[in-house]
Amino acid sequence: MTLANALPKIQIRDLQVAFGSNKVLQGVNLDIAPGDSLVVIGGSGSGKSVLLKCILGLLHPQAGSIKIDGEEVVGLTGDELEAVRHKIGMLFQSAALFDSLTVWENVAFGLTQGEKMPRQEAKQVALKRLAEVGLQAQVGELMPSELSGGMKKRVGLARAIATEPDIIFFDEPTTGLDPIMGAMIDKLIVEVTQAAGATGLTITHDMASARRISNRMAMLFEGRIIWDGATDQVEACGNPYVEQFINGRPDGPIEMKIQDHFG
Ligand SMILES: Nc1ncnc2c1ncn2[C@@H]1O[C@H](COP(=O)(O)OP(=O)(O)OP(=O)(O)O)[C@@H](O)[C@H]1O
């Protein structure tokens, strides 16, 4: 539930990132309220991953501000950056599990390494998290190579929530899954995020998934957020770029831009 006057969980102002002459983010402004689940949509190469990397401190913007809980994170290094990252759980596109660790060790990684929790205690937490994503304790003893794609995503989700983060990032959470498994992962994402009272930030191309996961959407186009609003209003938002994108129409203002470049 969004509180009208609550301090944004994440506040982004005039964020600018360029790689040489490629100006990827050209003044991004975005507020994400506590408890919101926001999906950032936008075409390939529009800068969605760059935006997430800036929030994680993996990329340094040329200009602009990113505040988490009111604290500036741009420019942080060392322990201060680690403290910010500790607030964020992440489900990576490929689930990004360590091949040489068992499933439960993967889930417990942030607890044993980051929080120095004793191994047996961390294992109990990991098994609890695995149960929350519908996986039995025996799965905890398997190696990642023994899992299907859907199971890997579940394990990745269990790992993302293991340290009870305030914020969870989901990078293309349904990529590579069949539609039913994708819908199941979406349902789990909603359940675990709400149960944790966490704020969600997702990047995806999968509009069905975006609609299921989010209560808010923002569209990134030509380096800026060109629309940001409630998910249930996106169909009728009146923005021709957003309407073309969410309906996957080949014709419209976005195609005209592509023709400008290559035509
Ligand atoms: N480390 C980097 N060095 C140089 N250019 C980069 C780097 N990271 C990203 N880019 C460029 O920034 C632009 C945005 O990339 P980004 O990966 O954020 O797009 P995206 O919206 O996540 O795309 P997709 O949906 O295809 O994953 C691209 O033009 C990309 O080539």
Helices (H), the chain: 48-55, 78-86, 103-109, 119-132, 149-162, 179-196, 207-213, 240-247, 253-262
Tens-digit pLDDT profile for residues 173-193: 888 888 888 898 999 899 989
Centre of ligand 1 to C-alpha 197, Å, is 30
127 in a structural domain: no
Average the pLDDT over 67-96 and give the result: 89
* Residue 134, Ramachandran bin (φ over 0: left; ψ between -120 and 50: alpha; else beta): left
61 in a structural domain: yes
Q: From CA 80, how far away is CA 87, in angstroms rounded?
A: 12
CATH number for the domain spanning 228: value is: 3.40.50.300
Q: What does the angle CA 31 – CA 37 – CA 39 come to, to the nearest 5 degrees?
A: 80
The closest residue, in CA terms, to atom 31 on ligand 1 is 45
Secondary structure of residue 93 in the 3-state scheme: coil
DSSP state of 100: T
Domains identified in the chain, total number: 1
Q: From CA 168, how far away is CA 148, in angstroms rounded?
A: 23
104 in a structural domain: no
The closest residue, in CA terms, to atom 13 on ligand 1 is 45
**Reported ipTM:** 0.97
236 in a structural domain: yes
Is residue 263 predicted with pLDDT exceeding 50?
no
Supply the range of the domain harboring residue 12.
Answer: 1-86+201-263
Residue 260 confidence (pLDDT): 53
The closest residue, in CA terms, to atom 9 on ligand 1 is 50
17 in a structural domain: yes
Is residue 224 predicted with pLDDT exceeding 60?
yes
Residue 158 confidence (pLDDT): 93
Q: Which residues, 6 or more positions from 68, have their beta carbon under 8 angstroms from its beta carbon?
A: 9, 10, 55, 84, 87, 167
111 in a structural domain: no
Q: Does the beta carbon of 171 lie inside 6 Å of ligand 1? A: no
194 in a structural domain: no
Tens-digit pLDDT profile for residues 105-139: 999 998 888 778 899 999 999 999 999 888 999 99
Is residue 171 predicted with pLDDT exceeding 80?
yes
